[in-house]
């Protein structure tokens, strides 16, 4: 559906619709797994730019190679297993890693949710004993 799309007819005109997602919120681990990208400590592990990196969590945005990733080249880089990609992912037809919002706060959110759920269950258990 993504690459070929599907045809519809509206008022005698033919249209081809293709799905494309934008603004997905993911963390780096999910991004790495979904798009077969290098991890934190891999070279060219940043999904937003071409900074080579210097080790775990070390990207210098002021370096000359930190230009933004070119969306037209991302699929080619993935097919060639180049510039931080370990191979091609079919998800690249739906959305690009450059269009993802990176958020690692899901870990904090999970902790807050667990804390609130534990408190809620404890409150229910207390009510059953009254």
pLDDT on residue 58: 56
pTM of the complete model beyond 0.85: no
Cα angle 9-12-16, degrees, rounded to a multiple of 5: 30
Alpha-carbon span 16 to 113, nearest angstrom: 43
Q: Which residue has the tokens 């870990």?
A: 107
Q: What is the pLDDT of residues 2-47, one digit of tens each?
A: 557 778 888 899 888 877 666 677 777 788 888 888 876 677 777 7
- Residue ranges per structural domain of the chain: 25-129
Query: Where is 8: in which H helix or E strand?
Result: strand 6-10
- What are the tokens at 105? 């706060």
Q: What is the pLDDT of residues 74-85, one digit of tens each?
A: 888 989 999 888
Alpha-carbon span 80 to 42, nearest angstrom: 17
Alpha-carbon span 37 to 15, nearest angstrom: 34
The alpha helices in 1-130, defined as continuous H runs, are 28-35, 71-79, 106-129
Contact 50, 83 (CB under 8 A): yes
pLDDT on residue 111: 63
Show Cβ contacts of residue 106 under 8 Å, excluding neighbours closer than 6 positions.
27
């Amino acid at each position: 559906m993504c690459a070929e799309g599907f045809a519809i007819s509206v008022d005698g005109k033919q249209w081809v619709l293709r799905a494309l997602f934008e603004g997905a919120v993911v963390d780096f681990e999910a991004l790495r797994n979904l798009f077969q990208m290098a991890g934190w400590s891999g070279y060219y592990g940043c999904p937003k730019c071409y900074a080579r990196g210097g080790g775990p969590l070390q990207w210098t945005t002021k370096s000359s190679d930190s230009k933004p990733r070119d969306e037209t080249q991302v699929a080619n880089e993935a097919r060639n297993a180049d510039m931080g990609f370990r191979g091609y992912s079919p998800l690249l037809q739906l959305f690009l890693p450059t269009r993802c919002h990176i958020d690692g706060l899901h870990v904090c959110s999970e902790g807050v949710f667990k804390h609130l759920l534990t408190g809620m269950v404890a409150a229910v258990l207390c009510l059953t004993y009254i």
